[in-house]
Chain A
Amino acid sequence: MSHSNYLIIGSSHAALSALEAIRIQDTEGSITLVTQEDTLPYSPTILPYVISGQIDPEQIFLRDAEALDRHRVTFKKGARVVAVDPANHSVSMDSGETLKYEKMLLATGAEPTLPPIPGVKDASCHVLRTLGDAVRLQSIAQKAKSAIILGAGLIGMHAAENLAKAGVQIAIVEALPRVLPGYFDEQAAGLVQQVFTEHGIKILTGSTVTHVTASNGTCTVSLESGGELSGDLLLVATGVRARMDYLAGSGIDIGEGIVVDDTMRTSSRDIWAAGDVAEARSFFGGKKRVNANLPNAVEQGRIAGMDMVGDSALKPFTGGIARNAYHFFGHRAFSVGLVGRAESAGGIEVDQVFLPSSVQYQKMVFEDDRLVAVSGVNTMLDPGIMYELVRQRVDLSEVKARFAAGPLQMGRILMSKIWG
């Protein structure tokens, strides 16, 4: 029976960050990295670019075998965990094998969910989370003339752009009133939508799908408004949920994800969780929730790894903040914090510049002289510096006018003074 000092389930961002953090402190301890995928580690975020053919599927790997060897990692691919037994410090694999561990990280990420729309399950719809999904979509895209995408979140939007680049005619249906609702407010989302429309992509926001039918390789989506859309391909990107089915019966606390504390410990001794699968404290409000994005997975993975190895430099998680950077058709957008929601509360000041003709937008939200949210479309800001200003709750009362007048310069100056 295999026995590891550190057992890491998953081989994506959270898992690899933890691995690096462990190896900085412990060069000897045995580490086993397990993934249900049949390939070297890769990121789901890269997959849209596989569909368009911009990136060769052989070129996407985050680590090669040599790098894993250098870290003296036992890498088990094509191996799925089906059950966890905390009392015995062991997990069961789909092959029937049992793996023992001293400390374990669960970094199993998320999986797509299908909405409860009649007909979706039978419509042989596609999702996009794994390399297998992407390669399949890439080959279909070569033949398909048209596609319908349900959901205008990051996955749907990335997929739409890349399918369009592969020559497919696209229609996106989104139930909420705007695209990328988790990250952008109405104006920013409007600019994104405008650019997509200019590139021939049809976007129907505020539209609910009543049912889906499929016949002869054509999918038809019926809308509540009465209209109908058809396409050769249906991609469902309406949401993801934490992948934690293997925890049934383990006794580990779960909610929307695996519940963790500020050093990513689960309710069970010697088991940590990080990334899209983890439900951790939010920066604003403190409520625990899943914050499913890549930077968050990297950060939580590092914290988990440091705690697993007992690194004294560990600083506990300061709380999840929604953040993202987004590049679309040569434009760039980013957001930190809840740009849309923050306005409604008291003590709030908003500073915005909106130049639709040049596809430019910038919005900063301050609460008690601290930056709490910022987003921009085609603005020259350093997103990482803006994030730190929010996270460190930097008091801007002395410099607010100058900051509002020149956030790029002032951001860099504050960086140099405070943490640079």
Chain B
Amino acid sequence: MGKSYPTIAFYPDRCDGCNQCVEACAEFHSGTRNPAHSRIKVSQDGEEGAFFLALCRQCGEPRCVPSCPAGALKKDIDTGVVSLDESKCVSCQLCTLACPYGGITYNPITHQVMKCDFCDGDPVCVKACPRGALELKTGSDIYNGWGDLEDLFVPGISACQGCNSELLIRHTLRRIGPNTVVATPPGCIPGVGAVGFNGVTATKTPIFHPLLTNTAAMLAGIRRYYNRIGRDVTMLAFAGDGGTADVGFQSLSGAAERGEQMIYICVDNEGYMNTGVQRSSTTPYGAWTSTTPVGTVLRGKSRDAKPMALLMVMHNCEYVATACMTFMEDYYAKLEKAVEAAKRGMAYIHVFSPCPTGWRFPPSKLIEVGRKAVETNMVPLWEYEAEARCIDFTHPVEDPLPVKAYLSLIGKYNHLDEEQVAHIQRKTDERIETLKKFTREGDVKPIQDAA
């Protein structure tokens, strides 16, 4: 398995040009605070006032490395850092001509080129920034950590291009491991071949195909049997929003209330995607589906979506969370808690699952759609732990983008008029206000079983 590496992210909006990163870099590498020695460079656009960064990207396929005639530049496979061996460098400068990012530059004092070396893994620029404009992103640790675990989902399944579910299933199964029984009721996930054909399954764990109505009930029964014979086996459901919020709701509600031990993952692609894009109770207001068409009278769905995750908070669950695959670190942290919580009762994770085919957006935009959904607060990321009896936002969005930034990415919202957009904005704001009431600072506590 290939390796991923940490990166330094720059948030221009938070930068005020104080130059502390530049001086810290110079000091670390030369002992003086003279900016000429800095590998990180901040530029300001005089007219727009915005700040820009020139810094080595530690490219996966660096252009500087093959352009060095001295073999002085190398991509270090362990750290990901493109390193410069000054003892070999002859200062020919060809690397500065190869790099399109201004990431390797000439130092007129030392007469040598210089570049970011990541300060042995703990960049001083990041620590020096008083405004959080530089962040060390270590999301790659996840891939390195879990990447070595066995992928329990076979290659060659027949998901649409850009399908969120494949990403979700691979990561989830890696983390939860083979000691698991998976239930996946009718929907896209069995549709892509997860439950298999010709007598073989697509998972390397036991997997079965319950009815739409009884996923949670069946897993409850299996778990109780294992409890009886003294085996600790994880119960895991991958169910669509139809199988969760509509047709399967009664059995899920009952299992949650009884405290059945399982991880129930709702893969919410906001409708019945595999049967031809019909509406479900989680289809958002205004969305086009084949049963909420756009014409002269109807303008997409006329009702708001059911707040499924919040309903589960009211169900005595041990753990409830929302998630989005764009925010993988967040998802892994939640899976971690879900695994523990499922030993005591129900852990419910509601995964926002954009669908390129049914929602009409290019497959390449999956991750971007997820990011915008979160950054507009259309899909707030939060978790609820029974012990704390409150909701915590796990990725609070201080300055949400207008919902339009999200809606405009997706074909199923193409037809929306100003009034509809205003409605969605209002509902989004209201939803956040409602959720805030359940946080530590809020004054509402969810109902909880005395026992």
Contact = CB atoms under 8 A, between A and B. Distances in A.
Contacts of B92: 45, 325-327
A164 B44 CA distance: 43
Given A325-B94, A384-B99, A415-B100, A294 B44 contact: no
A233 B70 CA distance: 26
Interface residues of A, number: 49
B83 to A, nearest CB: 15
B94 A295 contact: yes
A383 B43 CA distance: 17
Contacts of A409: 43-44
Contacts of A36: none
Contacts of B105: 382
Contacts of B94: 45, 294-295, 324-325
Given A43-B69, A325-B93, A385 B101 contact: yes
Interface of B: 41, 43-47, 52-54, 61, 63, 66-67, 69-71, 88, 90-94, 96-102, 105-106, 108, 111
Nearest to B93: A325
A16 B69 CA distance: 12
Nearest to A414: B52
A327 B63 contact: no
A353 interface: no
B93 A332 contact: yes
Given A55-B70, A420-B52, 16 more contacts: A43-B69, A45-B94, A46-B70, A55-B88, A295-B97, A298-B67, A334-B97, A378-B108, A382-B102, A384-B98, A385-B101, A409-B43, A415-B54, A415-B102, A420-B100, A420-B101
A329 to B, nearest CB: 10
Contacts of A385: 100-102
B54 A382 contact: yes
A416 interface: yes
A46 B100 contact: no
26 contacts: A55-B90, A59-B88, A62-B69, A63-B71, A294-B67, A294-B69, A295-B67, A295-B98, A298-B63, A298-B67, A298-B98, A301-B66, A302-B66, A325-B96, A327-B91, A380-B108, A384-B97, A384-B99, A387-B97, A409-B43, A412-B43, A412-B52, A412-B102, A415-B100, A415-B101, A416-B54
Contacts of B101: 384-385, 415, 420
Q: Is the interface of A mostly helix, strand, loop or mixed?
A: helix
A180 to B, nearest CB: 14
Q: Is the interface of B mostly helix, strand, loop or mixed?
A: loop
A301 B71 CA distance: 17
A419 B52 CA distance: 13
Contacts of A419: 100
A413 B43 contact: yes
Interface in A10-66: 13, 16-17, 20, 24, 43-46, 49, 54-55, 59-63
Nearest to A387: B97
Interface in A390-409: 402, 409
Contacts of A55: 70, 88, 90
B307 to A, nearest CB: 40
B66 A13 contact: yes
A333 B343 CA distance: 67
